[in-house]
Amino acid sequence: MEQREAPDVPRGLRVAGAVSWRLLAIAAVLFVLGRIASVLAELVIALGVALLLAALLAPLVDRLTRWGVPRTAATVLALLLGLVVVGGVLALVVITVINGLPGLQAQAAQTVEGVHHWLRTGPLRLSQGQLDDWVQRITDYLRTSQSGLTAGAVSTATTVLSVGSGLLLALFTLIFFLRDGGRIWRFALRVAVPAHVRDRVDVAGQHAFHSLVAYVRASAAVALMDAVGIGVGCALVGVPLSAALAALVFLGAFVPYVGAMITGSIAVLMALVTTGPLPAIIVLAVVVGVMQLEGHVLQPLILGHAVRLHPLAIVLGVTAGFLGAGVAGAVFSVPVIALLNAGIRALAEPPPEPGAEPAEPGAGPAAEAGAERPPEPGAERPAQAGSEPAADAANPD
């Protein structure tokens, strides 16, 4: 019997090499996808916004469909309800800003006068000539930077137009996600997934979308609690535009842990400019208290329970998303992680044994996320009507 020679390369090094080239291949694919996403950034962001809104409105559309409303009519009703809510909030913020602007200007002027008086009579004892010199320097800087400020204003206007076109694209995409999602999802399965694993990928996709639905609901609940806490604190202290600040905190809180802290710091700055140091310290204490409540109670109990993500994974995901794609990356990083987490968990589950009874609707990760999974009438196999962003019409239009 011929004796086999020992390999020249140690087994550990061979395994490390095999793993390394596979990791390099995955990194290359991710790099190419990232480059494509950066080129098509507006399209990717619009699709991401549409998917998040579909996760928010799909349960309402499904409920209306189960009540006998045609799918198209249910989609229109859900969109109208969403537009009414968003329009009402925006109108409240705009009216609050318009009504509070004169008082804000008066309070800001009083604060500037108080700072001027403190600089002259306080510990610094600055002379009027020194103060005039600083004012002159600031004026000269603004005058020399006028061209840069003008270019910045033009860039801001261009950004606003780009955001407006992106929102229109997101709204257009949302309509078809809610109405014709099932056809889109099944077409994608037929085109991109081999037949022998198509059913498992279908189940994983449904579980992933259920996790996204749970994430959006939980994020909205946490953001609302943050906004109410900081907004009420600002109102009690007497900070102007407290309703607008609360709306800003609500929007920022959709970025877990980080968003509410940044928007809360704006509230502290507003309190410092308009009402003075002591109210600003009180608002800072309110913001810190709300952040502690969010980090130790709201996020673990609501968001963490809904998407089954560790707080460390959320923080690292938000940081990586911000470093890689800015604000958009920070907003979409946690939803992407939640989708991947639920989908991979569903794929990792062993397939059902032949002859075994099908699982109850809602079992698995989707049930853990608290999502409903009623069977779709007329379907070949149990599935939720519109459970994914691609839900078919359960009723004829």
Residue 23: pLDDT band with limits 50, 70, 90: very high
The 10s digit of each residue's pLDDT in 153-199 is 555 555 656 677 778 888 888 888 888 888 888 888 888 888 888 88
Domain residue extents for the chain: 41-349+363-368
The 10s digit of each residue's pLDDT in 238-278 is 888 888 888 888 888 887 777 778 888 888 888 887 777 88
Cα–Cα distance for residue pair 15/58, rounded to 1 Å: 46
Burial class (CB in 10 A: 0-12, 13-18, 19+), 65: buried
CA nearest to 185, candidates 168, 209, 165 = 209
The 10s digit of each residue's pLDDT in 281-308 is 998 999 888 888 877 777 767 766 667 7
pTM of the model: 0.67
CA nearest to 329, candidates 44, 36, 28 = 44
Written as six digits, the tokens of 233 are 């604190």
Of the two residues 336 and 110, the one the predictor is more confident about is: 336
